[in-house]
Structure 1
Amino acid sequence: MSASHRSPNTWLREELLQLLSLSGTLAGLCITGVTLLHTVGKHSTTGTIADDVLAISALLFLICTYAIFFALRTRERVLAIMLEKIADALFLLALTGMVAAGFVMVYTIW
Structure 2
Amino acid sequence: MPAAHESHPHADTRHVNRTLEADLCIHIFTASAALVGVCLTVIGLLHIVTATTKVATIGDDLLAADATLFMLACVLAYWALRSRSSRRMHRLERVADAIFLAGLLLMTIVCGVITWAIL
- Provide TM-score, normalisation by structure 2: 0.81
1:8 to 14, 17, 27: 17
Distance 1:18 1:90 in 2: 14
Equivalent pairs, count: 104
Matched residue SS, 2:70 = helix
Q: Summarize the alignment of residues 25-104 of structure 1 with structure 2, pairs less than 5 Å apart.
A: 25-104=34-113
The amino acid across from 1:15 in the alignment is: L
Distance 1:77 1:10 in 2: 10
Listed one character per residue, the Cα deviations across residues 87-106 of structure 1 (whole Å, up to 9, x for unaligned) are 01110111111111111111
What is residue 9 of structure 2 aligned with on the other side? none
Deviation at residue 42 of structure 1 after TM alignment: 2.7
Structure 1: gaps of 5 or more residues: none
Deviation at residue 41 of structure 1 after TM alignment: 3.6
Distance 2:37 2:111 in 1: 15
- Provide TM-score, normalisation by structure 1: 0.87
What is residue 23 of structure 1 aligned with on the other side? 32
- Which of these two proteins has the greater Rg computed from alpha carbons? 2
Distance 2:51 2:88 in 1: 44
- Greater per-residue helix proportion: 1
Q: Is the 8 A contact 1:47 1:104 kept in 2?
A: no
Q: Is the 8 A contact 1:26 1:61 kept in 2?
A: yes
The amino acid across from 1:33 in the alignment is: V
Structure 2: gaps of 5 or more residues: 1-12
Matched residue SS, 1:7 = helix
